[in-house]
Amino acid sequence: MPRKDKVLVANGQGFWGDSLLGPIRLCREGPLDYLTLDYLAEVTMSILQKQRLRDPKKGFATDFVKMIERTAPDLVAKGIKVVANAGGVNPMACKDATLAVLRGHGFKGVKVAVVEGDDIYGELDALLASGETLANMESGAPLASVRERVSSANVYLGAFPTAEALDAGAQIVITGRGTDPGLVLGPLIHEFGWRRDQYDLLAAGTIAGHIVECGAQCTGGNYTDWRAVPDLAMVGYPIVEASSDGSFVVTKHEGTGGMVTQRSILHQLVYEMGDPRNYIGPDCGADFTSIRMDDVGPDRVRISGAKGTSPTPTYKVSISYENGWKALGQLTIAGPDALAKAKLCSEIVWRRLAYDGCTFSDEEKTIEFVGANTCHEGIDVPHASEPSEVVLRLGVKGHDKAKLDRFGYELVPLVTSGPPGVTGFAGGRPHATEIIGFWPALLAKSKVSTKVSVFES
Amino acid sequence: MPIVPLSRIADARSGDKGEGSNVGVMARSEAAYVFLKGALSTALVQRHMAAINRGGVKRYEADTLRVLNFLLADSLGGGGSASQRTDAQGKTHGLALLRLELDVPHSVLDATRE
């Protein structure tokens, strides 16, 4: 039996680097049952894996621990539960740091659960030996072709392990890689007792999760008609008011900025969308076109009718690998004749490098004149060729690190040996940094096992 | 028929998808959606975004949402962290598409709020 009629699940962190105010204000300014926080992107996993190799106590989202430090008094006083994929590639270390913070506050008996099983980095060779190819979903190439350069490998787990952790009484659930919508779906499975074969309900929870997964992107952020959005500075982060029948209301705390409308929600629904009829997740497929939206009050939109399908027999795997080096630098060129001078600067850099035997193909070079329609290149925009100043961005990539570092020497000299008006070299000399390639693959679900452990402060 | 930018009758949002991006075009009225379903072809989007996208374009239609979703296959200058473009995640591709100028019938404009 459902324990509650309605459950309030919010997202306070759309990505690692999102505003600190999201979670703080969600806890402070209105009722809430669950706070979900997303910290992981593909590139993040590789960076965290490297941190852990250097220090076994690292490899998780340290920002999460700082967030708990700030919000713990509210979380404990109001009994708000937290679900976060802050574990990265070291969820146990994240749990230890979280428990330390809770104990520091003097909070005893707070249960913190860890979901494991997503990290298959250590099992790659065994999986390949067992016949899994982990072929690139886009190119079809087998993982063996880049095996020695792989820097992380994580399965996008479903929401059921999170629900299991909540069933065990956890107030804070720390996971590694899972899907972003799963952060919301997990609590709904736990609260309403949804089963693995109730695809319409799982699809509803998945769609709810997708709508809030990027934080303020569904409450007025990144909205086409931006002038129509009230008080974006104080934007409220989204809350799903979910019912056991799969319908839910998207809203935000009263008095916060931004807005929740059918159009603000639609903006997020299409974000990073592929086939709108078949959004593939680990627990079900979801048909975005099946939903019905109704206005049910100010900043309140009800969504119902979601249809789902059975899940695929495979998990998506996020694999990252080292794929060469890159270097990038920029200078600001003041007018008059800013664009013409910036183009000359670019030519000067490549010619000086060529004199020293250092050349790059067009494919390896990035040349941008920011301020002269860089983002919308090739599209006719009035006055784009007459900016009063431009930022010249030059980049190179390749597998020869020494060559990329050589490039870095020829940018800043333009200040004294280029045309007049070259400035803005505050970043100093560009250095080569690693390129992290992303390798999407599929893995049979039967090859993955998950584990939930519960600890106490 | 008046020539207006796509932004007169639709909203858009874009983001990264692998080595490409998607642009969700949201028609602001049923009339606009019906018009765009015919006028906003993959070929037209391909041409308009040619300097940004080096790959193909695929279109999905979502009638109930009045959305046309375009997948640009190679629009980020490399996947993962390889891209050095300012807009390495395709965040502005939606606005780029909204700049497209179209011959739109008066009836569609009349039925679609500014």
Domain ranges of chain B: 3-110
CA distance B107 to chain A (A): 22
C-alpha distances out from residue A28 to A25, A247, A399, Å: 5, 26, 50
CA A269 – CA B2 distance, rounded (Å): 31
pLDDT for A122 equals: 94
Band of residue A53 on the pLDDT scale cut at 50, 70, 90:
confident
CA A33 – CA A186 distance, rounded (Å): 13
B81 at interface of A, judged by CB pairs closer than 8 A: yes
Across the range A264-290, mean pLDDT stands at 97
* Triad A233, B81, A139: Cα angle to 5°: 125
pLDDT in tens, A283-326: 999 999 999 999 999 999 999 999 999 999 999 999 999 999 99
Band of residue A329 on the pLDDT scale cut at 50, 70, 90:
very high
Band of residue A1 on the pLDDT scale cut at 50, 70, 90:
very low
* Contact flag B18-A138 (C-beta cutoff 8 Å): yes
* Contact flag A274-B19 (C-beta cutoff 8 Å): no
pLDDT for A428 equals: 80
Residue B9 has pLDDT above 70, yes or no: yes
Question: DSSP per residue over A353-409, as a string?
Answer: HHHTT----GGGEEEEEETSSSTTTTS--TTTT--SEEEEEEEEEES-HHHHHHHHT
Query: Looking at per-residue confidence, does B82 or A370 come out higher?
Result: A370
Nearest CB neighbour to B69, from listed A276, A320, A324:
A276
Residue A212 has pLDDT above 60, yes or no: yes
B72 at interface of A, judged by CB pairs closer than 8 A: no
Band of residue A42 on the pLDDT scale cut at 50, 70, 90:
confident
pLDDT in tens, B33-63: 999 999 999 999 999 999 999 999 999 999 9
Percent of chain A whose predicted confidence (pLDDT) is above 70: 99
Nearest CB neighbour to B86, from listed A224, A374, A436:
A374
B68 at interface of A, judged by CB pairs closer than 8 A: no
Across the range A46-75, mean pLDDT stands at 93
* Contact flag A376-B11 (C-beta cutoff 8 Å): no
* Contact flag A272-B22 (C-beta cutoff 8 Å): yes
What mean pLDDT value characterizes chain A?
95
Across the range A75-92, mean pLDDT stands at 97
What are the start-end ranges of the E strands in A51-122? Answer: 81-84, 111-116
Nearest CB neighbour to B17, from listed A274, A323, A377:
A274
pLDDT for B103 equals: 97
Test the B interface: residue of A270, A293, A319, A360 with most B CBs within 10 Å: A270
* Contact flag A272-B79 (C-beta cutoff 8 Å): no
Rg (CA), chain B: 14
* Contact flag B24-A271 (C-beta cutoff 8 Å): yes
Q: Which domains does chain A show, CATH number per domain?
A: 6-118+156-312 (no CATH), 319-439 (3.30.70)
DSSP 8-state assignment for residue A425: -
* Contact flag A378-B52 (C-beta cutoff 8 Å): yes
